[in-house]
């Protein structure tokens, strides 16, 4: 049983290139060797399909948790692509990253992976505790190594209101966000596909994003405002994502 909605259309414009774009503790910006400790699928309140990743850092066994959205929400058709200003079909950034992770760790596309229903402990917002939850787990990539490029991010804290929506707050928070993934030997997927003789791009990435780099996304807020529901996780069951 493959993952519905993630097969890449043949008319999507090639946009997977190496570019330097703009644990349980926050790490400095940098490259971190990790293994995939957990990988499971979920949906946001708005219906966007998410890949939830728990990476174990090789250097200290700390956990790095990341969630990336591979499709749009229900209102936009749950697509893994969009159309640019020239009407060209492009993959969503989250879909590109997810597909590269699958390529590095399993040697196949994300759409070709076969999820298995497993029961794992996940945080439950209502009970404010971890509880056993059945989710589709990507067992084929568990335990596999890769090199992750993390950014340190400054952003607004959010709270969940009575309508299950997330509200931005004036208080700040810091977190890590995955910017780029590489093979354990430092090659990017683009370099490996092109059979490059040397792994060079990860050096360029480090030169641009040093350990003091912070991507500041904080927004000054005078009144409460809602976040886009398509891009926020939900507490709803993920057991019936696939037909």
CA of 9: how far to CAs of 82, 111, 129, in Å?
A: 11, 11, 40
For tokens 């707050």, the residue is 169
pLDDT score recorded for residue 22: 36
Residues 6+ apart with CB under 8 A from 170: 156, 220, 221
pLDDT surpassing 60 at residue 118: yes
When pLDDT is averaged across residues 43-63 and rounded to a whole number, the result is 95
- Which residue pairs, CB below 8 angstroms and at least 24 apart, start in 54-63? 55/148, 57/23, 57/27, 57/32, 57/33, 58/32, 58/33, 58/34, 58/145, 59/32, 59/33, 60/23, 61/23, 62/23, 62/24, 62/25, 62/27, 63/23, 63/24, 63/37
Share of the chain above pLDDT 70, in %: 82
When pLDDT is averaged across residues 90-117 and rounded to a whole number, the result is 97
pLDDT surpassing 50 at residue 236: no
| Mean pLDDT over each residue of the chain, to the nearest integer | 87
pLDDT digits (tens, 9 = 90+) for 139-192: 999 999 999 999 999 999 998 888 878 889 999 999 999 999 999 999 999 999
pTM across the whole model: 0.79
Give the start-to-end residue ranges of the domains of the chain: 30-229
pLDDT digits (tens, 9 = 90+) for 205-235: 999 999 999 999 999 987 544 444 454 544 3
| Cα-trace Rg, the chain | 18
When pLDDT is averaged across residues 54-73 and rounded to a whole number, the result is 96
pLDDT score recorded for residue 234: 44
């Amino acid at each position: 049983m493959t993952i519905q909605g993630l097969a890449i259309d043949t008319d999507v414009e090639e946009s997977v290139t190496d570019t330097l774009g703009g644990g349980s503790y926050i790490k400095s910006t940098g490259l971190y060797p990790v293994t995939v400790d957990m990988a499971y699928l979920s949906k946001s309140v708005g219906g966007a399909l998410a890949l939830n990743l728990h990476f174990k850092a090789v250097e200290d066994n700390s956990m790095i948790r990341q969630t990336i959205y591979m499709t749009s929400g229900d209102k936009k058709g749950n697509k893994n692509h969009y159309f640019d200003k020239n009407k060209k079909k492009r993959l969503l950034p989250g879909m590109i990253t997810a597909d590269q992770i699958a390529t590095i760790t399993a040697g196949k596309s994300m759409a070709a992976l076969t999820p298995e229903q497993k029961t794992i402990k996940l945080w439950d917002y209502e009970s404010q505790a971890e509880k056993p939850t059945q989710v589709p787990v990507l067992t084929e990539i568990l335990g596999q190594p890769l090199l992750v490029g993390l950014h340190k991010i400054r952003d607004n804290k959010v709270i969940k209101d009575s309508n299950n929506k997330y509200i931005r707050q004036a208080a700040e928070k810091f977190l890590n966000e995955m910017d780029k993934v590489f093979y354990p030997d430092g090659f990017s997927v683009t370099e490996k596909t092109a059979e490059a003789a040397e792994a060079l791009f990860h050096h360029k990435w480090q030169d641009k994003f040093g350990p003091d780099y912070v991507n500041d996304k904080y927004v000054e807020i005078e009144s409460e405002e809602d976040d886009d529901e398509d891009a926020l996780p939900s507490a709803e069951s993920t057991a019936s994502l696939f037909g």
